[in-house]
Amino acid sequence: MHAPYGIFKPSPADAYRVGILIKDTVLDLSFLGPEFAQSSLNQFIALGFDAWESTRLKIAKLISEKNPQLKYYPAKSCILKLPVDIGDYTDFFTSEVHATNLGKMFRPDMPPLTPQFKTMPTAYHGRASSVIVSGTKIKRPSGQILLNNQTSPIYSPTQKLDIEVELGFIIGMGNNLGEPISIKNAHKHIFGVVIVNDWSARDIQRWEYVPLGPFLGKNFGTSISPWVMPMSALKDFWVDADPQDPIPLDYLFENKFKLLDIKLEVLIKSKNMKNYVTISNTNSRYLYWSPNQMVAHHTVNGCNLRTGDLLATGTISGPNADQYGSLIELSWNGKNAIKLNDQESRFFLEDGDSVIIRGRCEKSGMVLELGEVEGTII
């Protein structure tokens, strides 16, 4: 079965429950047990790897038998919410292309990659409280900005509001404090994947990030898709990746180094446009670090992950200019206009702009839709 899990209710008067998305319908799973009659996936995914697999097989059997207990609802009429209760959110920095591009922009007289990038998947802790479900509007943030040729910052709405194309991995079963998760067992702790748009205020971020990293430039909103595709559904969509150089330390080393082959399309529409236009197509196979390595590194010091935690990849950018996963790269920090149509172009987002990021996998005629994440700037 290749279907994502989510939390839905058929109408405003109903209670939220667990369902799976099957084409244009949602299958209600609340009859399977109390862990499926919940307003988040946490209780179910906390049961662990074996429970996920047995549930998948059970649902597939019930569908094939056309069991009369199964209730389907039109997906368009269902009300969706965040699929998990997120206790912690960690945003990694795992794209070599993205890291190199930003290094070239902001440190032109230094090597673009910092020395530690290829020794470990670096990250910072994001703000879990502002992780929001697709469709939630984004209010333009304000903060301190240092204008060009100035020595003191001003307080202003951001003029460089950006997107970041990412994948997010949802932790199912956590680990005890002080007990790292080994690279060999990391896959058993990742329940599934969502599409992430980590909105960014680049001018606020640029002034604040030294020496401690992003803060107000990032924590005002992170959008995720409402459907979680289980990792078991992606088993046919791993591809061999180039060997990492230098070879990672033992706790990060994978004998068969593979990355997910997920195509990610970025679409944008202004308030004056009727239709979206595609501005970028990238792929998660361009990442330098894998999700298993993210989990192993996150816990190597004994840090405990918990059910529902979100681990995001950071911006995913491919090697070509039309494969970049952020506007700051696509416009090269405001130097190159991104054409939307004959009348409009963008360097960064303007009020009224809407952005969609879609994900899908394709292999040998099989197509797996991961859904989309959408947001509009107000």
Contacts of 342 (CB under 8 A, 6+ apart): none
Q: Do 318 and 172 touch, CB atoms closer than 8 A? A: no
Give the C-alpha separation, 31 to 45, whole Å. Answer: 17
Give the C-alpha separation, 48 to 46, whole Å. Answer: 5
Torsion over CA: 105, 110, 113, 116 (sign): negative
Query: Exactly one of 98, 189, 297, 298 is catalytic; which is it?
Result: 98
Residue 98 is a catalytic residue: yes
Give the C-alpha separation, 278 to 55, whole Å. Answer: 37
Give the C-alpha separation, 344 to 338, whole Å. Answer: 9
Overall residue count recorded for the chain in this entry: 378
Ramachandran assignment for 120, one of left (phi > 0), alpha (psi -120 to 50 degrees), beta (any other):
beta
Give the C-alpha separation, 140 to 138, whole Å. Answer: 6
Give the C-alpha separation, 195 to 313, whole Å. Answer: 10
Cis before 10? omega within 30: no
Give the C-alpha separation, 250 to 184, whole Å. Answer: 11
Give the C-alpha separation, 295 to 183, whole Å. Answer: 8
| Alpha helices per DSSP H over 250-331 | 291-299, 327-330
CA atoms within 13 A on the CB side of 48: 4
Q: Using CA atoms in the order 222, 225, 228, 233, what is the torsion angle rounded to 10 degrees?
A: -120
Q: Do 5 and 230 touch, CB atoms closer than 8 A? A: yes
In a 3-state reduction of DSSP, which class is residue 84? coil
Which residues are tagged catalytic?
98
